[in-house]
Structure 1
Amino acid sequence: MSGTIAFGLFAVVFVTSALSGVFGMAGGLILLWFLLLALPATTAIVVHGVIQLCANGSRAWFSRHYIDWRIVAFIASGGALAALGLALIDYTPNTAVVSLLIGLMPVLVWIPKAWFRFDASRPHHALSCGVVAGGLTIAAGVSGPTIDLFFIRTQMDRRQVVATKAAVQVISHSIKIVFYLHAALVLSKGQWGMVLLAIPFAILGTRSGNAILRRLTDANFRYWTRWIVTAIGVFYFLQGLWMVT
C-alpha cells in the first residue's frame, strides 16, 4: 500500500467515522466506496469490517449509557440467522452487486410511515431487522439505511438511536469478518499494518462526531440523515449501473 493511498485511507477513515458519529451511519458507506477502489469486493468488505468494528465499538463505548441491550440482542440473533443462510448458499460478492444493493438501500428511509410501522423496540420487528440488515451487511458490506428504517420510527431520541445502532453494528461487523475470514489472508502484513494504523483515526473521528451529535436537535438529526444517505445511495446506484453496462 503506497504512502498516498495510506494517507488517503487515514483521512477517509477520520472523516467517515466523524460522519457516522453524528448520524450513526453514512460514513461507512463512503469508506466502503474508497476501499472498493483499491481492493477486491470480498477483501474490501473485510477491511471495512475491521475498521468499522473499531469505530462503532468506540461510538458504543462513548454512548454506552444510552444503549438498549434488549434491542441489540434481538437484532444480533436475526443477524446470526442471516449469516447461516448465506453460508449455506456459499454467497460471494462482487463490486457491481455491492454497488447496486447499497444504491437501493436509501429508498427505504423515504417509505411513508403510513405504509410500514417498523419499530425496533418490538421484539419481532427487531428480529426481522437483524435478518434483513444482517444479510445485507454480509452481501453488500453495509446495512445502515436498512437498520435506520427500524429505528427512525421509534420513540428513542437521537443519542439512544446512535448508541444502540453502534452496538448492533459491532456485532454485525464481527459476524461479517468471520464470514469472510478467508479474504483477510489475501492482504500482506504491510497492508494490515496500515489498516491497524487507521484504527486510531476511526476512534478520533468518532469522538469528534459524538461532540457534534450533542449539538443537533432530533428533528435536524432525522432530516439530514435521510438526505445524506440518499445522496450517497444515488452515487452508488449509478456506479453499479455503469459497471454492469
Structure 2
Amino acid sequence: MINDILLALANLLTSALTAITGVGGGMILIGLMPFFMPAAAVVPVHGVTQFVSNASRAWFGRKDVALEHFWSFLFGSIGGLVVFGILIRFVQLELVPLFIGIYILLITWSDKFNQLIRKFEKFWLVGFIQTGLGVFVGTPGPLNIAVLNKHYDDNHVVVSTGALMMAVVHFAKLIVYVSVGFAFADYWQLLVMMIVMATLGSWVGTKLRHKIKMSWLKTILPYILTLLAIKLIIGILLKFGIFEKLFTLF
C-alpha cells in the first residue's frame, strides 16, 4: 500500500508537470515505476495512468485543441497498434525496464537518434512510431510535440492537441496489453488512486500553465532521467546475472 501511495503521489506531480510544460512527466513516472512494481506490469499500468492524464489534460484545455492534423495521427496510430501489437507477443516483458532505460538515454543524449526520429514529420508516421514505441517502452517521447511546435506558435494549442494525440497512443497501448492477457484487475486499487491523481494533476497543471514558467526544468530534466535510466539498466543486469557472467569471462 505504501508503494501504491508513493506512485500515486508521483503521478500527481508528473501529471501536473506535463500539463504545464507538455513534456517530461510521463518519462519520469515510467522511470520510477519499476522500483515499485513488477516489471511486466509497468507499461500497462503506466498506459492507464497516462491515458487518463492526457485525456483529462486535453479535456481541460479543449478550447485550445486543434483537430487539423489529429485524424492523420489517429490513422497512423491504428497502424502502429496492429503491427507492434503482434511484435510484443515475442518479447519477454521482464526486460521492459531495460528497453525503457536504453530509450531514455538515447532520447536524452543522442543527437543522431533524435535527428533520426524527428525526420518523420508526417503526422500519420508520427502516430505510427509513437504507438509502436509506447507498446515497448511505455513513454514514446515528445515527437508529436516537436512536430506540433512547427505548426502552431501557441503553447496552449500545442500542449492540449499533443495531449489528445497521446491519449490515443496510450489507449492503443492498453488494447495491446488487454489482448495479451494482462490482468489489470490485479492492480485496481493502484489504478484508482493513479487515475484520480492523474486527473487532479492535469487540472492543477492546466491552471498553473498560465501563471508559472518551467524553463528551469529543461536544465535539470536530462540529469534526472539519466539517473533513472542507469538505475533501471543496472537493476536488470543484476537481476539476470549479466555482471556475474561477465566476471566469469575474465
TM interval, shorter chain, is 0.7 to 0.9
**Distance (whole Å) between structure 2 residues aligned to residue 77 and residue 229 of structure 1:** 32
* CA distances 1:103-135 after superposition (whole Å, capped 9, x unpaired): 212347x68x9x799699xxx611121122121
Give the drift of 1:62. Answer: 0.7
**Distance (whole Å) between structure 2 residues aligned to residue 14 and residue 88 of structure 1:** 32
Residue 178 of structure 1 pairs with residue 175 of structure 2: yes
Residue 48 of structure 1 pairs with residue 40 of structure 2: no
Contact kept, 8 Å, 2:131 with 2:170, in 1: the verdict is no
Provide the residue aligned with 1:34 in structure 2: 32
Summarize the Cα distance change of 1:75–1:241 in structure 2 as closer, same or farther, 3 Å threshold: same
**Distance (whole Å) between structure 2 residues aligned to residue 153 and residue 79 of structure 1:** 20
**Distance (whole Å) between structure 2 residues aligned to residue 187 and residue 235 of structure 1:** 32
Q: Which has the larger radius of gyration?
A: 2
Contact kept, 8 Å, 1:75 with 1:128, in 2: the verdict is yes
> Percentage identity across aligned positions?
22
Structure 1 gap segments, 5+ residues each: none
Residue 193 of structure 1 pairs with residue 182 of structure 2: no
Provide the residue aligned with 2:99 in structure 1: 97
* CA distances 1:163-205 after superposition (whole Å, capped 9, x unpaired): 00110111111000010114531652xx312311332221111
Q: Which aligned pairs between 1:87-126 and structure 2 lie closer than 5 A?
A: 87-89=85-87, 90-92=89-91, 93=93, 94=95, 95-107=97-109, 125-126=122-123
Summarize the Cα distance change of 1:166–1:7 in structure 2 as closer, same or farther, 3 Å threshold: same
Summarize the Cα distance change of 1:163–1:38 in structure 2 as closer, same or farther, 3 Å threshold: same
Provide the residue aligned with 1:239 in structure 2: 231
1:12 corresponds, among 6, 10, 13, to 10
The 3-state SS of whatever aligns with 1:25 is coil
What is the number of residues matched between the two proteins? Answer: 231
Structure 2 gap segments, 5+ residues each: 238-242, 244-250
TM-score (norm 1): 0.81
Provide the residue aligned with 1:164 in structure 2: 161
The 3-state SS of whatever aligns with 1:153 is helix
Q: Which amino acid aligns with 2:211?
A: R
Summarize the Cα distance change of 1:117–1:79 in structure 2 as closer, same or farther, 3 Å threshold: closer
Provide the residue aligned with 1:131 in structure 2: 128
Deviating runs (4+, > 4 A) in structure 1?
A: 115-120, 223-226
**Distance (whole Å) between structure 2 residues aligned to residue 97 and residue 238 of structure 1:** 11
Q: Which amino acid aligns with 2:172?
A: I
Give the drift of 1:229. Answer: 4.5
Contact kept, 8 Å, 1:26 with 1:228, in 2: the verdict is no
